[in-house]
Structure 1
Amino acid sequence: MECLSWAVPAAARRQGGAAVQAVRRAWTEPGRERDLTVQAGKATVAACLAWAVAGWWLRAPAAFVAPWVAVVLVESTVYRSLTHGLQQLAAITVGTVMATLVAFTLDSTMIAMAVVLPAVLLLAHWQRLGSQGIYAATGALFVLTSSQVTFVTSTARIGEAVFGALVGITVNAVIRPPVYLRDARAALRDAAWEAQEILSAVAEGLAQGEWDESSAGDWHTRALRLGRLVEQARSAIGWSRESMRGNHRGRGSRGVSLPDEAYADALAVLDHVAVHIAGVTRTVLEMAGQHGETDRPGQHVTGPYAGFLRQVGRAIGLYGQARFPETGSETVTQAAREQAAEELRHSLDELHRKLSDTVRNDSSALATHGELLAQARRLAYQLVQDQPR
């Protein structure tokens, strides 16, 4: 019990500290925390505006529907607000109309629910309604559980839903519409940084001769995670493009530009890099599993290969810094990238010569060393061919 009583306050302190850090980041710097805070504030503004008009000024019979719809339509992107708004209005309208007609036909609320709900819940899976299909059931329940069902009240619910949707979409589109270009740049930069770190770790282990199945397995696991980082970058680019659709912040000389071909090119490069790094680490893992002293390559092989991997890691790092630099960081010039590419070419040629001389009379090592050379050539080619001309 004493351990439990000590652990609970410790966990509470950690959670409290994380919350304080999140608030500090939201206040001091752009990021996810600030974006979430702004979206929460916008949803509150939308709800208050919708209620002020529908509930306080017009005193509409179904005024609660307006702020409810307004809140849920302050979406993560303007485009999503609009498309989800149309889908949601269609679902609410269908559910409200069906429930109203059945309620007028049947006297029992329970029987009406048993008739209407299966139909609208099946409708919720209709592809054209997307994720908003469930609101057909919500609209039907609002009708069936009300004290009195009338055409006037049902029409008012649909009208209030339309008004709430207009308020939510307008607020989301006008007041600091969300943009996720920063997330895409950060995801691509993180993938490039992780690729450089993996290659540096492998190079250090090979150069020092301190690599076994455990360390090689860790390198390969990180390489496989790198592929997931690239997929996250791909998803972030999709969010970036969607966030600019219907977004006034992307217009004008001071607006934010739509992700261009640089994003797609960088994604293609990093995708290839992730695949080839996984191949390199898999080959190293297979070599580490060869327990015979004569089967594992010696320092005369791993040393030059380690030097080549360092050179590749440096080229990837320069690539990421040049394409997606951090604010305040030193600018990577084209000359620096071209020099790194030239050094990478020379390093690959030297590696090819040394490994070829090493395994020329050793048929048992040809397959392993050949795979190392193949992965090295693919990595180098992908980075060298992307250099600006």
Structure 2
Amino acid sequence: MEWTRWATGVLRRHGGAAVRAARRAWKEPGRERDLTVQAGKAGLAAWVAWALAGWWLQAPMAFVAPWVAVVLVESTVYRSLAKGLQQLAAIAVGTVVATAVALLLDSTMVTMAVVLPAVLLLAQWQRLGSQGIYAATGALFVLTNGQVSLATSGARIAEAVFGAVVGIAVNALIRPPVYFRDTRAALEDAAREAQEILDAVAEGLADGEWDSHAAGEWHERALRLGRLVDQARSAVGWSRESMRGNHRGRGRGAVSPPGKAYDDALAVLDHVAVHTAGVTRTVMEAASHNDEAARPGPQITGPYSDFLRHTARAIGLYSQTRFAGTGTSQSPDGALHEAVKELNRSLDELHRTLPGAVQDDPEALATHGALLAQARRLADQLVRD
């Protein structure tokens, strides 16, 4: 009974997630629709390859064509072509080696013992990349399919070539994938998370309700921000790769690959992630310090929270300037310019406040100096860009 309830709960959760994903794929563009389209294209490539090679031409090894076709409907056109060439090379190597040794030794069992270690070593060849394992697959197809002959081995390679051509053609000609939505979303997510972290720290400092636990949570989020930036960098790379050999990048209505604005945004977000982690680390160390004198007082935390709040706003406006309009009467560039001015004013206020706030104590001086240094580094990057 307990097991039945558990299984029902699992099915309900996963079934609900599947239904929601299907609804999103139907209603709007996004990752779910892209995955659905790619799955449909892979099925179509396999069907076309089998219909031509197996049904129409009655090829002796027709199963090889749809098998190769389905695995070559890759996430980008460039990757389909590159991996297709590598896979064909691996299959050809395995097939040729297995055929030659089998004809020489005239014993399937002995041939398999000799050939498989050799082709598995060949599979590690760097030029074959991740497709090297198909050398062993090609050898096994030769050795486990009855009588070995040059004709059957040649047919197997020809059908692999045909399947690769079908898979690459389907991926390149039918809605070739692009990943600009993913790229923009990844960059916006990183900028939004940075903004929310700085707003949370600013609010905590302004209220005076921050301790080692809260500061530790802020720092954990700041460390995760670095991983979000890495994901955004990977997404930019995917977007650029998805336009290589993609006809959607040419002609009327073509979509341009990510340009310098994306690179600039990555550089800014990299610095923001590093220095946000520095700010939260300094706050966390101050919160856990046993010496109350080293802990910043209201005369420092007030101006510092203002600075962080202005920084958060500048980051949000920077994201809007690079990736989306605000839809307001003031342009995003103008709003960002004003936010940077406010950021500079709040930083100047920190510089004026610090000398009078620091007591004659090396620990207090170190804490306040670290906060100011991190503030300066964070502001410099936003002001420069």
Q: Under TM normalisation by the shorter chain, which class is it?
A: over 0.9
Match of 1:217 in 2: 216
Match of 1:345 in 2: 344
Cα distance in 1 for residues equivalent to 2:11 and 2:331: 44
Match of 1:74 in 2: 73
RMSD of the TM alignment (CA)? 1.4
Cα distance in 1 for residues equivalent to 2:211 and 2:114: 67
2:378 corresponds to 1:379: yes
1:70-104 deviation per Cα after TM superposition (whole angstroms, max 9, x unaligned) = 10110000000101111111111111111111111
The alignment partner of 1:79 has SS state of helix
Cα distance in 2 for residues equivalent to 1:233 and 1:7: 37
Q: How many residues of Structure 1 are paired with residues of Structure 2 in the alignment?
A: 384
2:313 corresponds to 1:314: yes
Give 1:106 deviation, angstroms.
1.9
Cα distance in 2 for residues equivalent to 1:180 and 1:93: 33
1:255-278 deviation per Cα after TM superposition (whole angstroms, max 9, x unaligned) = 110110001000000000000000
Match of 2:82 in 1: 83
Native 8 Å contact 1:51 1:64 kept in 2: yes
The 5 Å alignment of 1:350-361 reads 350-359=349-358, 361=360
Q: Percent identity?
A: 72
Match of 1:269 in 2: 268
2:170 corresponds to 1:154: no
Match of 1:247 in 2: 246
1:144-196 deviation per Cα after TM superposition (whole angstroms, max 9, x unaligned) = 00122111111100100111111100110000001011111111100000000
The 5 Å alignment of 1:223-242 reads 223-242=222-241
Match of 2:45 in 1: 46
Report the more deviating stretch, 17-26 or 101-110: 101-110
Give every structure 1 segment of 4 or more consecutive aligned residues whose post-TM-superposition deviation is greater than 4 Å.
328-332, 360-363
Residue identity matched to 2:267: A
Give 1:361 deviation, angstroms.
4.6
Cα distance in 2 for residues equivalent to 1:151 and 1:308: 76
Cα distance in 2 for residues equivalent to 1:95 and 1:293: 71
Cα distance in 1 for residues equivalent to 2:241 and 2:292: 56
The 5 Å alignment of 1:155-304 reads 155-304=154-303
> So what's the TM-score if we normalise by structure 2?
0.97
The alignment partner of 1:294 has SS state of helix
Match of 1:140 in 2: 139
Report the more deviating stretch, 329-338 or 183-192: 329-338
Native 8 Å contact 2:176 2:246 kept in 1: yes
1:83-131 deviation per Cα after TM superposition (whole angstroms, max 9, x unaligned) = 1111111111111111111111223211110011011000110000000
2:327 corresponds to 1:324: no
Q: For the structure 1 residues 125 and 329, does the alpha-carbon distance in structure 2 shift closer, same or farther, using more than 3 Å as the test?
A: farther
1:222-261 deviation per Cα after TM superposition (whole angstroms, max 9, x unaligned) = 0000001001111111111111100010112311101100
> So what's the TM-score if we normalise by structure 1?
0.96
Cα distance in 2 for residues equivalent to 1:73 and 1:382: 43
Residue identity matched to 2:353: K
Give 1:220 deviation, angstroms.
0.4
Residue identity matched to 2:158: G
Native 8 Å contact 2:295 2:367 kept in 1: no
Native 8 Å contact 2:49 2:66 kept in 1: yes
Residue identity matched to 1:343: E
